[in-house]
Amino acid sequence: MSEQTENQSMAEHEALQRQLVEVRQLLSRHRLVEDLVHRQEMPRHDLVENLVHKQNLSELTKKLTLMAAAEIARILEALSHNESLVVWELVREARGEEILDELDDALRETLTSVAQQPKRQIMLNAFELHNGRLRQILVESKEQLTATNPIWIDLIAPDMEEREWIKDIFDLALPDPDDLTDLEESARFYIEDENEQIHLHSDFLLDKEGESRNVAVAFVLHHNILFSVRQEELPVFRLQRLRARIQPGYVNDGKDVLLDLYAADVEYSADALENVYTSLEKVGKHVLSTHITDEQAAKILAEIAAEEDLNGRIRRNVLDTRRAVSFLIRGKFLSGEQLEDARQILRDIESLDGHTAFLFDKINFLMDATVGFININQNKIVKIFSVASVALLPPTLIASIYGMNFRRLPELEWQYGYPFSLSLMLVSVLVPFWFFRRKGWLR
């Protein structure tokens, strides 16, 4: 009986091992095909990727459906962390509770915490040169990153795990994106001679409707690979990726990518300046109209303040770009062609300086004009009170005279005393108004 039980146990173990091998093969094929789709440039890429994703996982889902909860638990314990998460997502909704009962405490706690927290999207993209064009690869695992041959790796809000991938594969410690704004001014551009690393920390403009700000971006050039770290997506980076994917020969190495990012940032700043011009033209037409109410003036001042803030951010942004490009030129890191590109970027920045200065003058003029209209409106109100106070002086004088303690008060002994005093007060008000209006002093 004991021998029969032992044989049955060995058979179950062998069956479980076969199932584990099959699950691993399906997971490996899933990763391989997904990686292949990521590398291909094809129309409707997202639709193809989604279709392949579903087809690969459907076979694995069917196999897991035929397995007992205890068998799935043993397979989850044998798989790596990333593989176990994939399998858990496939079985969690239908059979999650009974599988958790079969797991050890550590893995149960891990999978439970994953189920309770929203899955974080990994924003790590590697870019390889393929036929003279950049080819974007969305990296979701350390193995995928190891298999790439990039000239640019772009990370958006990377966590500690993703930065550890970079450190293990490329021997490079990337900065925490949360600390980019805490850097001292002197530490924005520097070289690490020991590791042959060039570090640059620059501000890039983000101009959204109703909001504009400068976003800090960290760049590291290491073995001709450009690493970029930031907290959020930026239009300049999307533009660079689009150009490099479409135009062959647009970039050849990480330094080309870095210079083109700075050039695109200058173009983006120039576009933002054009929008400031357009907005100020509309404001100017309103300011130079015949009449502005206080409510309209307040709205105009708010619009002018917003454009002034944007113009200041653009000026700060191009100043930071000038410092970064000048650092690259002084450090003699660039080839002859790259050096000419860098000088062209500086010339473009110089042309923007005049525009920002002109816009500051225009903004000051419009603000002074708007404040002038507010003062005119206030003066009109003060004028009304001034005229009223002056007009009431003669009647007040007459009333004061009539109110004096004469021995004989005319209004008491004369039948028409009160009507006469009131008429006299009215005449004393109308005569000055008639006189000033005739002279043209009252408009």
Quick one: DSSP state of residue 177? Answer: G
Alpha-carbon 356 to chain mean position? 22
Angle at 248 between CA 245 and CA 252, to 5 degrees: 90
The class of domain 124-376 in CATH terms is alpha beta
Compute φ and ψ for 199, nearest 5 degrees: -110, 130
The predicted pLDDT at position 207 comes to 82
Can you tell me whether residue 174 is helix, strand or coil? coil
The predicted pLDDT at position 247 comes to 72
Compute φ and ψ for 192, nearest 5 degrees: -100, 100
pTM across the whole model:
0.60
Burial class (CB in 10 A: 0-12, 13-18, 19+), 295: exposed
Burial class (CB in 10 A: 0-12, 13-18, 19+), 98: middle
The predicted pLDDT at position 227 comes to 93
Can you tell me whether residue 337 is helix, strand or coil? helix
Quick one: DSSP state of residue 141? Answer: S
Q: Rounded to 10 degrees, what is the CA torsion of 199, 203, 204, 208? A: 150
* C-alpha–C-alpha distance, residues 236 and 239, integer Å: 5
- Helical packing angle, 45-65 and 2-39, nearest 10°: 180
331 contacts 249 by C-beta, under 8 angstroms: no
Can you tell me whether residue 214 is helix, strand or coil? strand
* C-alpha–C-alpha distance, residues 381 and 27, integer Å: 80
* C-alpha–C-alpha distance, residues 76 and 104, integer Å: 10
Cα 207 to Cα 214, 265, 268, 275, 430, distances in angstroms = 9, 12, 9, 10, 60
| DSSP states along 181-206 | GG--GGGSEEEETTTTEEEEEEEEEE
* C-alpha–C-alpha distance, residues 297 and 374, integer Å: 7
The encoded tokens of residue 286 equal: 């309103």
The domain ranges of the chain are 2-116, 124-376, 392-439
The predicted pLDDT at position 45 comes to 42
* C-alpha–C-alpha distance, residues 84 and 88, integer Å: 6
* C-alpha–C-alpha distance, residues 363 and 276, integer Å: 10
Q: Which residues are CB-neighbours of 159 under 8 A, at least 6 positions away?
A: 120
* Site of tokens 């473009």: 348
b/e sequence 104-123, b meaning 16+ C-beta within 10 Å: eeebbebbeebeeeeeeebb
265 contacts 205 by C-beta, under 8 angstroms: yes
The predicted pLDDT at position 37 comes to 44
79 contacts 24 by C-beta, under 8 angstroms: yes
99 contacts 93 by C-beta, under 8 angstroms: no
Q: Return per-residue pLDDT of the chain as tens, 443 residues.
A: 456 666 666 777 777 778 878 877 777 766 655 544 444 444 444 443 444 455 557 777 888 888 888 888 888 877 776 777 778 778 777 777 788 878 776 677 777 765 554 545 557 888 888 877 888 888 888 888 898 899 999 988 888 888 888 889 988 888 877 766 655 544 678 887 666 788 888 888 888 766 778 888 999 998 889 999 988 888 888 877 777 667 777 778 888 889 989 998 998 888 888 888 888 888 887 777 767 777 777 787 778 888 888 888 888 888 888 999 999 898 888 888 889 999 999 999 988 888 888 887 888 887 777 777 777 777 777 777 777 777 777 777 777 766 665 556 555 666 676 777 778 778 777 777 777 777 666 65
* Site of tokens 């660039």: 334
228 contacts 208 by C-beta, under 8 angstroms: no
For the beta carbon of residue 133, count every other beta carbon within 10 angstroms.
18
User: Pick from 343, 325, 315: which is nearest to 189 by CA?
Assistant: 325
3-state secondary structure 229-250: EECCCCHHHHHHHHHHHHCCCC
Residue 74 belongs to what H/E stretch?
A: helix 69-78
Residue 89 belongs to what H/E stretch?
A: helix 81-102
- Helical packing angle, 417-439 and 393-402, nearest 10°: 160
Query: CB-side exposure of 168: number of CA atoms within 13 Å?
Result: 11
Burial class (CB in 10 A: 0-12, 13-18, 19+), 69: middle
